[in-house]
Copies of this chain bind each other. A is one copy, B any other.
Amino acid sequence: MAIKKTSERPSREPDDRVEKSRKAVLAATHQLLAESGLSGVSVDEVARRSGVAKTTIYRHWQSRESLLLDACSQLSSRPPVPNTGKLRTDLEAWIAEAVRRLQQPWATVMPSIIDAAERDKAIAELQSRIHAQMRAGLVAVIEHAQARSELPHSENPRKIAAFILGPIMYRRFISREPLDEAFAKSIVKWAMRIE
């Protein structure tokens, strides 16, 4: 419920000043998220950093949670879908972009969302949406390969996606081992053998 409400905008034309303070608040929230994760964001601290009064913040977002959901949604921009006509080159491009994004500062926010999702349904929904967006390009690459019979039609694309994205996420967040080019190549090589 909370998630939908945050995207509603007042029907009157927002003036420049309103838009400017909205942007400042979101920027401060992104900064705090990158520095200390979900639990490090308080409306007090966002007000201090952005220079926007708490009352103004609460005029845009009902609650700290609404603000968090809005800020996190904006972080999960949809990566482009490679379409080279071949599974190998599509996968190489998609993995390279995913690895690049996972090494940017905001990627450190992801584990705090994953953690909060274990105990909070609204965050779990947000986590699902962010993840579905992140994975969408990979699923498209897999479906294109299935249409060309480069991958078996019988397999669920989301299962194949787990085999490709799983080792990447595992190395980044769990084993904390390098996501180098050799590792990316092995995943592509292995994915080409799915049948």
Closest CB of chain B to A43's CB: distance in Å? 18
Residues from chain B with a CB closer than 8 A to the CB of A168 are 166
CA of A24 to CA of B131, assembled, Å? 39
- Contact check, A36 vs B119: say whether CB atoms are below 8 A apart: yes
Closest chain B residue to A118 by CB distance?
B108
- Contact check, B114 vs A108: say whether CB atoms are below 8 A apart: no
Using known A-B contacts A124-B176, A131-B175, determine if residue A162 contacts B170 with beta carbons closer than 8 Å. Answer: yes
A106-123 contact mask (Cβ, 8 Å, vs B): 1 or 0: 001001101101110000
- Contact check, B190 vs A194: say whether CB atoms are below 8 A apart: yes
CA of A62 to CA of B165, assembled, Å? 41
CA of A3 to CA of B171, assembled, Å? 23
The secondary structure that dominates the A interface is helix
Using known A-B contacts A111-B118, A114-B114, A159-B186, determine if residue A131 contacts B174 with beta carbons closer than 8 Å. Answer: yes
CA of A108 to CA of B190, assembled, Å? 31
Using known A-B contacts A108-B119, A118-B111, A169-B170, determine if residue A177 contacts B162 with beta carbons closer than 8 Å. Answer: yes
Residues from chain B with a CB closer than 8 A to the CB of A118 are 37, 108, 111-112
Tell me, yes or no, whether A84 is within 8 Å of chain B by CB. no
Please report A residues at the B interface, Cβ cutoff 8 Å: 36-37, 39, 108, 111-112, 114-115, 117-119, 124, 127-128, 131, 135, 158-159, 162-163, 165-171, 173-177, 183, 186-187, 190, 193-194
Q: List 24 A-B contacts (CB under 8 A).
A: A37-B118, A37-B119, A39-B39, A108-B119, A111-B114, A114-B115, A114-B173, A114-B174, A115-B115, A117-B176, A127-B176, A128-B175, A128-B176, A159-B183, A162-B170, A162-B171, A162-B175, A162-B177, A162-B183, A163-B163, A163-B187, A166-B166, A166-B169, A170-B170
